[in-house]
């Protein structure tokens, strides 16, 4: 089934503009998901916000956002105040600059999306922007409101389309220099290095998507399928028992009816 478009807008570079649509490059639609149920009734359990002190439910229109500045001390922001700081980038991807294609480290990459041209004459403009980035080995940078926040995004040509990556915010990236601040280690022995290279060579294979299958999900699906099958069998067995009981009851009812009928006829014959 074709993926459903979740964003439509415009791609702009200087005075060149074209309509575009976008879908996430990844999906979790096939993931096994569970609902929380009440084991006694089998009904679904619903969650709700409660006041941490009074333990009373908080109605939706009474819920606000707050920034913690101390223990039990928050600065409250209204939705209008939060929306007011957002820039006008909800429906336009305006490419403001370009960087060398491989200059942005992988750690900055967040979520990939497929960007496609809209219908009509705008396809030519889309192709020009895409092919220009491909031939110059560059990636475009822009800003776009996605998932309720304005984010920096990177556009990279790929095949007949463009991959749009949301980029992580600067405060989300740890300094690898601090993490990898390890004591200096001398160069490994050449013999050990040669053996390790040989081992790597023996285990090097071509990439295949099957390498990242989810065995846990496969086993869960097997368990769910077995339980469904057992439930169907139990349902059929129960139905068969009910039908058998009904048939026996029907036979008994017929016998009773016949017995009563004969008794009634005999009684009537005696009176004649």
Given this model, what pLDDT does residue 149 score? 81
Residue 206 has what pLDDT? Answer: 93
Q: Provide the β-strand partners of residue 75.
A: 67
Would you give per-residue pLDDT tens digits along the chain (272 residues)? Answer: 456 788 999 999 998 999 999 999 988 777 778 888 998 898 999 888 999 899 999 998 899 888 888 888 899 888 777 766 665 567 899 999 999 999 999 999 999 999 999 877 789 999 999 999 999 999 999 999 887 788 999 999 999 999 999 999 989 999 888 888 888 777 878 888 899 999 999 999 998 888 878 777 778 778 888 887 877 777 777 777 767 666 665 555 666 666 666 666 666 555 44
What CATH number labels 1-27+77-171?
2.40.290.10
- Separation between Cα atoms, residue 178 and residue 7, nearest integer Å: 39
Q: Enter the pTM of the model.
A: 0.66
CA 195 – CA 198 distance, rounded (Å): 5
The b-or-e profile of 58-79 (16+ CB within 10 A means b, else e) is eeeeeeeeeeeeeeeeeeeeee
> Which residues, at least 6 apart from 75, have a Cβ–Cβ distance to it below 8 Å?
66, 67, 69
Residue with tokens 């705008």: 122
Question: Is there a contact between 136 and 98 (Cβ–Cβ < 8 Å)?
Answer: yes
- Give residue limits of the domains in the chain: 1-27+77-171, 213-266
Q: Are 85 and 131 in contact (CB under 8 A)?
A: no
What are the tokens at 259? 């017995």
pLDDT computed for residue 271 by the predictor = 47
């Amino acid at each position: 089934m074709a993926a459903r478009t979740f964003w439509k807008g415009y791609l702009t570079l200087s005075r060149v503009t074209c309509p575009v649509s976008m879908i996430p490059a990844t999906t979790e639609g096939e993931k096994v998901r569970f609902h929380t149920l009440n084991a006694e009734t089998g009904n679904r359990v619903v969650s709700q916000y409660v006041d941490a002190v009074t333990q009373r439910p908080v109605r939706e229109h009474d819920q606000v956002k707050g920034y913690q500045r101390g223990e039990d001390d928050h600065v409250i922001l209204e939705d209008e105040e939060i929306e007011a700081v957002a820039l006008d980038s909800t429906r336009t991807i305006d490419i403001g600059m370009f960087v060398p294609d491989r200059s942005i480290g992988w750690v900055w990459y967040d979520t990939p999306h497929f960007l496609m041209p809209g219908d009509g004459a705008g396809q030519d403009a889309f192709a020009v922007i895409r092919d220009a980035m491909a031939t110059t080995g560059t990636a475009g940078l822009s800003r776009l409101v996605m998932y309720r926040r304005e984010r920096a995004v990177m556009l990279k040509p790929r095949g007949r389309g463009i991959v749009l990556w949301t980029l992580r915010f600067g405060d989300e990236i740890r300094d690898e220099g601090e993490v990898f601040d390890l004591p200096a280690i001398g160069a490994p022995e050449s013999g050990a290095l040669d053996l390790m290279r040989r081992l790597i060579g023996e285990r090097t294979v071509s990439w295949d998507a099957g390498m990242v299958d989810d065995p846990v999900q496969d086993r869960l699906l097997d368990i769910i399928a077995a339980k469904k099958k057992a439930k169907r069998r139990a349902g059929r067995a129960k139905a068969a028992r009910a039908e058998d009981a009904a048939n026996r009851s029907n036979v008994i009812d017929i016998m009773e009816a016949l017995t009563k009928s004969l008794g009634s006829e005999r009684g009537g014959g005696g009176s004649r």
